[in-house]
């Protein structure tokens, strides 16, 4: 085999092995028959692994379980999470092709929790989508912030913030936008 042939074979293998995000929008439009979310909380020690959507229908009990899991752990307040955020999280996870659950750092935040966090950090928005149940801050140990953010951005369905210094990605169902490094 010639050097040129070897380089061509390597290039073809690299392109074939690269992750593809072309099917993200299809997933959010119902391209999948099953939607599943896997998370754990380092704060409470709880774990969640549930199928919440099957063949076009959300499973009420599973969605209720997700809402309870994503509660404000500081106050124990539960809010109905916007299912669009859950769909974005699940789609990004699916695109990353990992079995590892997300580590949930923050889901719903009560106004009191948001105010407390805001007093400690400039990075907390006064009218955070977390208070509306429309946002989540997530981490995957096996993937970089950039990899997770790229997968979430490929969904073209909401906001994606990169917080590399704190090693997490913010995902929300608000306007499509990105920020951070």
Structural domains for the chain: 23-180 (3.30.1380.10)
User: Alpha-carbon distance 127 to 147, whole Å?
Assistant: 27
* Residues in contact with 152: Cβ distance below 8 Å, sequence separation at least 6, in sequence order: 88, 89, 92, 158, 160, 169, 171
- What ranges make up the beta strands (E) of 34-129? 34-40, 47-54, 57-58, 102-106
CA distances from 37 to 71, 83, 117 (A): 15, 12, 26
Structure tokens at 12: 């073809």
Q: What is the pLDDT along the chain (181 residues), one digit of tens a residue?
A: 444 443 344 444 333 334 444 444 455 544 458 999 999 998 999 999 999 999 889 999 999 999 999 999 999 999 999 999 999 999 999 999 999 999 999 999 999 999 998 888 887 888 899 999 999 999 999 999 999 999 999 999 999 999 999 999 999 999 999 999 8
Q: What is the mean pLDDT of the chain?
A: 86
User: Alpha-carbon distance 15 to 108, whole Å?
Assistant: 39
Q: What pTM value is reported for the model?
A: 0.81
């Amino acid at each position: 085999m010639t050097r040129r042939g070897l380089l061509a074979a390597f290039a073809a293998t690299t392109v074939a092995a690269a992750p593809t995000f072309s099917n993200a929008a299809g997933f959010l439009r119902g391209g999948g028959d099953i939607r599943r979310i896997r998370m754990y909380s380092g704060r409470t020690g709880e774990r969640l692994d549930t199928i919440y959507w099957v063949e076009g229908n959300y499973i009420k009990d599973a969605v209720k379980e997700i809402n309870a899991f994503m509660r404000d752990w500081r106050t124990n307040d539960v809010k109905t999470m916007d299912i669009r955020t859950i769909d974005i999280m699940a789609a990004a996870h699916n695109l990353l092709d990992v079995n590892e659950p997300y580590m949930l750092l923050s889901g719903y935040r009560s106004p009191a929790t948001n105010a407390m966090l805001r007093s400690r950090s400039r990075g907390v928005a006064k009218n955070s989508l977390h208070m509306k149940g429309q946002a989540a801050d997530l981490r995957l140990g096996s993937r970089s912030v950039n990899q997770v953010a790229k997968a979430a951005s490929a969904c073209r369905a909401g906001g994606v913030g990169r917080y590399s210094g704190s090693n997490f990605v913010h995902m929300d169902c608000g306007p499509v936008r990105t920020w951070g490094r």
